[in-house]
Structure 1
Amino acid sequence: MSPPERLPDGLVVRLGQRVRVEDGGRALVGGAPLRVMYLKPGAVPLLRGRELRVADARTAALADVLLGAGLADPVAGRMASAPVSAAEVTWVVPVRDRAEQLDRLLRALGSESPVIVVDDASREPVSVRRVAEQHGARLEALTVNVGPAGARNHGLTRVCTPFVAFVDSDAVPEPGALELLLRHFADPRVALVAPRIVALPHPQPTAVERYEDARSSLDLGDRPALVRPRSWVSWVSSTCLVGRVDLLGTGFGDGMRVAEDVDLAWRLDAEGHRVRYEPAAVVRHEHRASLVPWLARKAFYGTGAHPLAVRHPEEIAPAVLAPWSAAMLLALLAQRRWSIPVALGIAAVTVVRLAHRLPQSAHPFATASRLTADGIGAALVQAMALLLRHWWPGVAVAAIVSRRVRRAVAAAAVVDSLIEWRRTRSTLGPVRFAVLRRLDDLAYGAGVWWSALRGGSIAALRPSFRSTPRG
């Protein structure tokens, strides 16, 4: 396979908000996975502030390295125009009934791009056919229900354009969203791009809808990202995805009815392609409004854990911890008089060891201290998630007999809820937000355990251990 052509002139990339610039611009700390990257002296002046504009082969090569390391993101809004026109994209819409939602979506899509509606064995196919015909969409009617992933794959086989845009029938892209997503294909390595998924407006929102407005599983935040396992954005939702047809192969995992979007993103990353998340492009989604269907959906998402463990055993771990951070957590969870001194000692040893691994740094101990602090913060967040979300059935049993486990769970529940409430700026009060946050975790965790028990494997529950970040 010949290497892809280089990034085009005029493309602007910007260092991610989580990336720190140190040593006078020579060292970049961040990325996915976390790393310290040292720039060659000739490369340092190419970065103006936190941005780099591609103007020649040298700047294109540096931009490509930064993008591939997850240290920088393309600035889609700074491109003059998309390298792909809407006429080169085919929309594929999987649907089962939902004729009203389909009508709303097709009105929003307009007529610039061809549309294929795949009816996944609707109970009322006449209504779906009528809506598709009214909007001039091509209808593919399936006689057997295969699920959204199978319906998308069927539509993919009928696409004749070089690009495809999958969108669910209960979603509505905002004007300009497709053009923003298409701009990312100026990078020849990009195979798939996803927008930000937010809620459709609701005049009288329920408590569940207000929680979802702030903390929806589908909303991956307001920062662009390279999507890959174990990064800040490790997956993207199939609610809406735009991809290169020639790189998608047969599409979503055969027979997968949940987590097919995670599987696709991880497969593409493993093949050396790039998957990008672009929050400036917004697609609105009809979130569930009542408690029981919402909890059922959360549990359903959790059941994707075991299928992913089968396909991606190295990436599915619910927590990724360095050995030193795992030891520190065990010391803190012991809740003994020696716990804090031991944890501080582990952190101090980690700083010293990491500093010796940064010989190029002008201030190795300062850099190592910041990296260690980052690791401690990440470890604590993951520990709270394990206690409250992934491992809660086992933790609940342990809490019956252990006062220390009860204290750890109570502290984690309060701290996690307050952090998320403040971070998301939810319009719910802190108490109601905390209750729904815990219900969210309980439902998802139940789905994970059910899938693990049904699959006869604890792979989706087992944490992963890795070494400290490399220099």
Structure 2
Amino acid sequence: MKTPASENPAAKVPPLPAGFRIELDQDTKPLTDELWFGGSPARVLRLTAAGRAAWRELETGPVVSKAAGVLARRLTDAGFAHPIPPEPAREPDLTVVIPAHNRIGLLERCLAGLDGRHPVLVVDDDSDDAAAVAAVAAKHGAKLVRRESNGGPGAARTTALEHVDTELVAFLDSDCVPADGWADRLAAHFADPLLAAIAPRVRALAGDTWAGRYTRAAGSLDLGDRPARVAPGTRTSYVPTAALVARRAALTAVAIDGAVFDPRLRVGEDVDLVWRLHRAGHRIRYAPDVHVDHHEPETWRGLLGRRARYGTSAAPLARRHPDALAPLALHPWPTLTVGALLARRPLLAAAAFGGSVASMTRLLRRDDIPTSGVVRAMATAVEQTWLGCGRYGTQFAAPLLAALMVPGGRRRWGRRAALASLLLGPPVSAWVKRRPALDPVRYTAAAVADDVAYGAGVWAGCLIHRTTTPIRPAVVRRPLRVDPKGQR
């Protein structure tokens, strides 16, 4: 299989254009003048003398020289930095597309939130009250296209593209409330010719119920406040099309039998599209400095039902992209350390941790990389492995964990404590980090229910599609990528 241009460091890609600035990611750390640590996945980047000179240009201003553009592309592709586009010289050539099925009130609110600077196309996906949808669209000056059969949001967006001739298209779901100028701010990034799509932050819009407060703190479409290049295997592996600005030519180039969105997917069609764009060598970005609000269920039935539906998409996505979807990545040494701790084998855990430190130290010394901070880095890897295993166990084996925690005739407090740490560790850790407007007990209960519902959806999809790929962890044998000497 050929390595796509998006994954091949030797592939020739154009530099980031003149006028772009970059900002370093918060995890980027200079080890020396020559060596930087950071990126997603984590790696060590080695700068040549020419690369260091190019960085001095980028550090104080925008891209001017070709060398600076090449380095800026390298840094933003690897996740060491994020692009800041120049001010556009003109308004973008853009159409807003809104798929709609019923939800007249939400459609009204969505259209009212638009600024009127761009044409709007509403696609009625066979709503029960077509006249009401038409009236709302007409009230706000939007063009209307009606589908005679309901095909889901992906099919509606594909239908819309048959009626769009602008360079860019901004997809916006009817249950979203856009911020002023959201599409224009994202469109500025298309000064980069490799960019195919960019998404804003999608914040949860919900009431003051227990479910509503939980989803505001941990909305499934909210990918957080850190910008990112979007690619499988990175910190941000996908973006939803609830709100997305895309280059129309790039969308049509990856169409399947004329359909940009796979019509067989009612859920997960956005993830499939993003991964097809990535595989074709395009860039996709997440820009949380721009946001839209998204209506979320305010009842547990609605919230958990939506999470289960999202889970059903894992199996068909795994069949289409078997190398892009893994529920858990396991590094051998941290995994052995966590396993030993859970089994209450402290000597084995200490030996495994020592092995991880020695292995990483040997790798770094081989490439003349400073080894300070290795112990802390490997401790963080152990912590992340523990949290990952806990989330995995909750999603796919919560009934088993709960059954094993039930007190028996003999004292098994150590085993129950270990299992409880898997079940409760991830939500408690998330609560400490986020400090949401919800007490830790209710947040933890909600997070566990959320994961169980999603896992149930994944299991259902696996049974329907007869695959176990979405529940199989991946073993990662190379803990850190190190650029060879001589590369910029």
Q: Distance in 2 between matches of 1:33 and 1:50?
A: 23
> Paired residue for 2:361?
352
Q: TM-score, normalised by structure 2?
A: 0.88
- Amino acid in the other structure paired with 1:217: S
Does the 8 A contact of 1:288 with 1:294 survive in 2?
yes
> Paired residue for 2:216?
213
Give matches, 1:299-378, under 5 Å. Answer: 299-359=308-368, 361=369, 363=370, 365-366=371-372, 368-369=374-375, 371-378=377-384
1:38 aligns with 2:41: no
Does the 8 A contact of 1:391 with 1:461 survive in 2?
no
> Paired residue for 2:438?
428
1:246 aligns with 2:256: no
Cα deviation for residue 398 of structure 1 reads: 5.6
> Paired residue for 1:236?
239
Does the 8 A contact of 1:328 with 1:346 survive in 2?
no
> Paired residue for 2:290?
281
Does the 8 A contact of 1:84 with 1:183 survive in 2?
no
> Paired residue for 1:28?
36
Q: Which moved more, 1:205-214 or 1:343-352?
A: 343-352
Q: Distance in 1 between matches of 2:89 and 2:312?
A: 38
Q: Deviations over 1:280-333 (max 9, x none)?
A: 111011111111111100111111110111011112110112233333333233
Q: What is the root-mean-square deviation in Å for CA atoms of aligned residues?
A: 2.3
Q: Which moved more, 1:324-333 or 1:414-423?
A: 324-333
1:117 aligns with 2:127: no
- Amino acid in the other structure paired with 1:286: H
Q: Percent identity?
A: 36
Cα deviation for residue 368 of structure 1 reads: 4.5
Q: Distance in 2 between matches of 1:148 and 1:288?
A: 18
Provide closer, same or farther for how the CA distance between residues 438 and 105 of structure 1 changes in structure 2, counting only shifts above 3 A. same
Q: Which moved more, 1:330-339 or 1:210-219?
A: 330-339
> Paired residue for 2:138?
133
Q: Distance in 2 between matches of 1:366 and 1:390?
A: 38
Does the 8 A contact of 1:355 with 1:368 survive in 2?
no
Does the 8 A contact of 2:229 with 2:283 survive in 1?
yes
> Paired residue for 2:201?
196
Cα deviation for residue 392 of structure 1 reads: 2.8
Does the 8 A contact of 2:336 with 2:349 survive in 1?
no
Q: Deviations over 1:119-170 (max 9, x none)?
A: 1111111100111122221211111110111111111222110111110000
1:13 aligns with 2:18: no
Q: Distance in 2 between matches of 1:419 and 1:54?
A: 40
> Paired residue for 1:465?
475
Cα deviation for residue 11 of structure 1 reads: 1.0
Does the 8 A contact of 2:100 with 2:173 survive in 1?
yes
Cα deviation for residue 457 of structure 1 reads: 1.4
- Amino acid in the other structure paired with 1:238: T
Cα deviation for residue 220 of structure 1 reads: 0.7
Q: Distance in 2 between matches of 1:398 and 1:414?
A: 14
Does the 8 A contact of 1:82 with 1:180 survive in 2?
no
Provide closer, same or farther for how the CA distance between residues 368 and 53 of structure 1 changes in structure 2, counting only shifts above 3 A. farther
1:157 aligns with 2:165: no
Provide closer, same or farther for how the CA distance between residues 201 and 449 of structure 1 changes in structure 2, counting only shifts above 3 A. closer
Does the 8 A contact of 2:14 with 2:70 survive in 1?
no
Provide closer, same or farther for how the CA distance between residues 64 and 51 of structure 1 changes in structure 2, counting only shifts above 3 A. farther
Q: Distance in 2 between matches of 1:259 and 1:157?
A: 22
Cα deviation for residue 229 of structure 1 reads: 1.1
Cα deviation for residue 415 of structure 1 reads: 2.5
Q: Which moved more, 1:228-237 or 1:2-11?
A: 2-11
Q: Which moved more, 1:91-100 or 1:375-384?
A: 375-384
Q: Which moved more, 1:280-289 or 1:179-188?
A: 179-188
Does the 8 A contact of 1:322 with 1:468 survive in 2?
yes
Q: 2:186 aligns with which of 170, 175, 181?
A: 181
Task: Give the secondary-structure state (helix, strand or coil) at the position aligned to 1:53.
Answer: coil
Provide closer, same or farther for how the CA distance between residues 358 and 108 of structure 1 changes in structure 2, counting only shifts above 3 A. same
Task: Give the secondary-structure state (helix, strand or coil) at the position aligned to 1:338.
Answer: helix
Gaps of 5+ in 2: 6-10, 483-488
Cα deviation for residue 401 of structure 1 reads: 9.8
Cα deviation for residue 342 of structure 1 reads: 2.9
- Amino acid in the other structure paired with 2:95: T
Provide closer, same or farther for how the CA distance between residues 31 and 177 of structure 1 changes in structure 2, counting only shifts above 3 A. same
Cα deviation for residue 337 of structure 1 reads: 4.3
> Paired residue for 2:486?
none
Q: TM-score, normalised by structure 1?
A: 0.92
Q: Deviations over 1:381-401 (max 9, x none)?
A: 211211222443554566569
Does the 8 A contact of 1:192 with 1:244 survive in 2?
yes
Gaps of 5+ in 1: none
Q: Distance in 2 between matches of 1:339 and 1:132?
A: 66
Does the 8 A contact of 1:395 with 1:405 survive in 2?
no
Q: Distance in 1 between matches of 2:194 and 2:79?
A: 13
Q: Deviations over 1:412-457 (max 9, x none)?
A: 3333222211222201111111111111111111111111122211
Task: Give the secondary-structure state (helix, strand or coil) at the position aligned to 1:10.
Answer: coil
Task: Give the secondary-structure state (helix, strand or coil) at the position aligned to 1:220.
Answer: coil
Q: Report how many aligned residue pairs link the two structures.
A: 461
Does the 8 A contact of 1:318 with 1:390 survive in 2?
no
Q: Distance in 2 between matches of 1:248 and 1:408?
A: 48
Q: Distance in 1 between matches of 2:389 and 2:161?
A: 40
Task: Give the secondary-structure state (helix, strand or coil) at the position aligned to 1:175.
Answer: coil
Q: Distance in 2 between matches of 1:19 and 1:407?
A: 36
Task: Give the secondary-structure state (helix, strand or coil) at the position aligned to 1:166.
Answer: strand
Task: Give the secondary-structure state (helix, strand or coil) at the position aligned to 2:470.
Answer: helix
Q: Deviations over 1:55-106 (max 9, x none)?
A: 1111111101111112110135xx3x236624x1111111101112111111
> Paired residue for 1:222?
225
Cα deviation for residue 263 of structure 1 reads: 1.3
Q: Distance in 2 between matches of 1:83 and 1:32?
A: 32
Q: Deviations over 1:211-239 (max 9, x none)?
A: 11111111111111111112111111111
